[in-house]
Structure formats: structure tokens, C-alpha cells
Structure 1
Amino acid sequence: MASFTRRAKADPGTPAVESRILAATERLIERGERYTEISVQQILTEAGVSRATFYAHFRDKTDLIVRLTADLRQRLLEMAQGWDPAAGEDGADRYTRFFADVIALHRRKGFVLAALREVASYDQTVRGFYTADLEGFDQAVLRTLVEQQQSGKTPADLDAAAASRVIVWGGGQAIARHIEVDNGDGDAAFARELGHIWWYGAYRRPPANNLIEEPKK
């Protein structure tokens, strides 16, 4: 359960102070320490600020991790919402580049995202914050699938709502697992597989009556 300490009035130079605290926290995380084991005192020492200054800007460590990842989540959501299946180029190739960018961003901020997932595992508020970008991505994919169905490019027998949940939430888990077990050498191949699976598994999946039946044994 997150604690909520009353904030004092923020000091002048708030953006600069907040940036110092956020940067100090990110440095501690990137050294490999679990976020739950990093104390507020460690953050104070790393940032060179007082406890009063910390609580003038952040309610607690939960508030801190949420704000540390807010810009990253917004960037990922904007990338998802900006994807247009009707842009006139092979969709599988564009999805491949999209996922390559997503994976690269996750690589750069991997420790911070891992800390967010760590807190989300026990804090309901952070869990909702953590999944909000996937919910937004889910809605964006659902919208484009429906639009593509209406234009006749995606088969009408596709359950758009189910498909969007499978590819978005499943894709999110797949990316997290890939980054955990791959050193980066397989990023291009992984992005290509995701791109082609999404495109040909949903957007351009053949209608059911066009599928080749397995020969009976």
C-alpha cells in the first residue's frame, strides 16, 4: 500500500530540483538495485537534496516512479496512436520498423521499466498507470482493425476486439520477455516476426473460407 505524505510548498526552481531527484533515482536503478530496496535516504544523498525538499516535490517513492516513467509511457502511446495501416506501404514492414523503435526505447529505459513493473506487482495505483498505455494502444489497434474491416481490407469474420487484445497485451508480454532473455542481437528478427504476425495474423488474415484445410488422415 502506497503512503501519501503531505507535500510542503515547493521551493523556487522546482523543475530543476525535480529533474535532479528523477535523474538521481534513475542512476540508482541503473546500477542494478531493486527499486523497493532503494531508500529515500539513498535518493537524497545521490541527488544532494534534503528530505524536506524531496517531500516538497514527491509524495513518496510511488509518486516518484510514476513521474519518472510518465514521459516514456506518453512517447510509447504516441507512437502507437500514430501508426496508420492505410499509409500506402507494406504494413508488415512498417510494423517491423515500429516494433524496432519500441524495442530500442525499451532497451534504453529497461531498468526503469523493470522498476515500474516491480512496484505495479503490489500497488494497484501503479498497476493502473503501468497498463494505461497498453489500454490506449489496444483502443488504437481496435479502431484501425474496425476501419480496415469497413473498407473490406480486413476479413469481416475477424473478431476485432479479441484480436486487438491478443496482439497488444500478448505483444507487450513478448517484448518484455525478449528483452529479458536476449542481449540485443535478436532485436531485428524479433521486430520482424512481431510485425509480420500482427499484419498477416489480423489486418491481412485470409477469410476463414479461404484457409486451406489440413488433409484428413
Structure 2
Amino acid sequence: MAESKKRISRDERRIIIERQLLAAAERLMADGASFTELSVERLAREAGISRATFYIYFEDKGHLLRQLTGQAFADFTDAANNWWTVVDRHDPADTESSVRGIIAAFREHQHLMNAVGEMASYTPGVADTLRALMDSVITEVEGVIDAGKAAGIIRSDLPSHATATALSWMVERTCSQVIPAGDPDYDEDLARAMTEIVWSTLYCTPLTGRPSQ
């Protein structure tokens, strides 16, 4: 029992440290530093931990980046759950709420996601992590589509996996490419446009012209 408690405590401690390092890395990158330039010592100091503590939990910066990417994706999927868990309500407001939440999370983590995109092009481990996280999202969306089909809400003629893949990557690529260069005021239009695409694809019911929420 004591061993189990110790293991749980260590896992919880890792999560806390990951969050501290995520916030630290994003502050430093927001100030103009690139992730590749950041030393372990600087990251640890900014996060309020020792260099030795860093190496207790992470092998190197590449390992850290993979873990931080998982933390960011957890925030994206938390936002998506606003729709995934209530798809049976067939309410466009749920879809729009999720899209807005995803955009907000991407904006919060834009510097991290820029680093992930850059390093994924030449670091196999980072690329594999990104692909695995996206595959997990696609599986969730595919389940939502299948559940909607079974309930007679979502179009039965849609190929579930292909549709989930296209929509998931559409959201990820749009956010990754548009948000870093875009003004936050543009997020409103972006949210409505992506909601329109998702809703029209799944339900074939245009939303254009409905009152703003």
C-alpha cells in the first residue's frame, strides 16, 4: 500500500512540475526565446525547480517537449469535450463552445505548438508524439460521429474515420497556421467559420444567418 501511495505521489508531482515547466517555457518563448535556445538550467530556474529535479523526471529537453505537448493537447481535448459529451443534444451552441475553447487553448499554447511544429520536422520522437496525440483525437471524433449516426443525428452516409481525420486535422492546421500570425480579434470569425464547417459537414444544416451567440 505504501509503495502504491508513493507511486501516485510521484505521478502527481510530475504533473505539477510539467505544468510549471509548461508555463515557464511559454513565458520565455513569448519573450522571444526559441525552445531550441533554452537551456535546461534556464527552464528549471524560470519554473522554480532545480536542474537536478528536472533530470529526475525528464531525460532531456526533447522528452520535456513531448510531455508538454501532451499537456497542451489535454487542454484542447478538455475544450472539445464540451461538444463530444453532449452530441446527442444536436445543439450548434455546443459545437461552437468547443471550437471557441480549442481556439483559446491554441492561443494560450501557441509558442509551444510553434516549437512542436518546428521540431517535429527533424526530431522523430516529437513527430511521433504529435501523430499519436492526433490519432487519439481522431479516434474520439470518430466515436462521436458513430454515436451520432446511431442516434440518427449525424449523416449516416459519412465515412466515420475519414471524416474524423479530415475535421481533426482541419482544426489543428488552421489553428497552428492562423493563430500565431493573427490578431486575437480574428478569433471570433475563425470560431464561427470552423463551427460552420464542422456543423455543415456532420449535419448538412447551414448555420449562416442564425443569430450570434
CA drift at 1:81: 4.3
Unaligned ranges ≥5, structure 1: 1-13, 207-217
User: RCO greater where, 1 or 2, for CA within 8 Å and sep 6 or more?
Assistant: 1
Give distance in 2, aligned partners of 1:105 and 1:37: 24
After alignment, is 23-32 or 165-174 more displaced? Answer: 23-32
Matches within 5 A, 1:184-195: 184-195=184-195
| SS of match in other structure, 1:181 | coil
Unaligned ranges ≥5, structure 2: 1-12, 206-213
Partner letter of residue 121 of structure 1? S
Alignment-derived partner of residue 11 in structure 1:
none
- Calculate the TM-score normalised by the size of structure 1: 0.74
Alignment-derived partner of residue 123 in structure 1:
123
Give distance in 2, aligned partners of 1:156 and 1:45: 54
Alignment-derived partner of residue 78 in structure 2:
78
| SS of match in other structure, 2:33 | coil
Partner letter of residue 72 of structure 1? A
Alignment-derived partner of residue 204 in structure 1:
203
CA drift at 1:53: 4.3
TM-aligned CA distance change 1:204 to 1:128, over 3 Å: same
Alignment-derived partner of residue 99 in structure 2:
99
Does the Cα contact within 8 Å between 1:62 and 1:126 map onto a contact in 2?
yes
Partner letter of residue 87 of structure 2? P
TM-aligned CA distance change 1:167 to 1:20, over 3 Å: closer
RMSD (Å), alpha carbons? 2.8
**1:87 and 2:89 aligned:** yes
Matches within 5 A, 1:144-155: 144-155=144-155
Q: Deviations over 1:82-109 (max 9, x none)?
A: 5232125x32x32122111111111112
| SS of match in other structure, 2:87 | coil
Q: Deviations over 1:111-159 (max 9, x none)?
A: 1222222222222222222233322221122122222223333333222
Give distance in 1, aligned partners of 2:36 and 2:50: 20
TM-aligned CA distance change 1:152 to 1:30, over 3 Å: same
Alignment-derived partner of residue 215 in structure 1:
none
TM-aligned CA distance change 1:154 to 1:87, over 3 Å: closer
Higher helix share: 2
TM-aligned CA distance change 1:169 to 1:120, over 3 Å: same
Alignment-derived partner of residue 137 in structure 1:
137
TM-aligned CA distance change 1:24 to 1:108, over 3 Å: closer
TM-aligned CA distance change 1:21 to 1:97, over 3 Å: closer
Does the Cα contact within 8 Å between 1:148 and 1:154 map onto a contact in 2?
yes
Does the Cα contact within 8 Å between 1:74 and 1:133 map onto a contact in 2?
no
Does the Cα contact within 8 Å between 1:80 and 1:140 map onto a contact in 2?
no
Matches within 5 A, 1:20-59: 23-43=23-43, 46=46, 51-59=51-59
Give distance in 2, aligned partners of 1:98 and 1:50: 37
Q: Which has the larger radius of gyration?
A: 1
Q: Percent identity?
A: 28
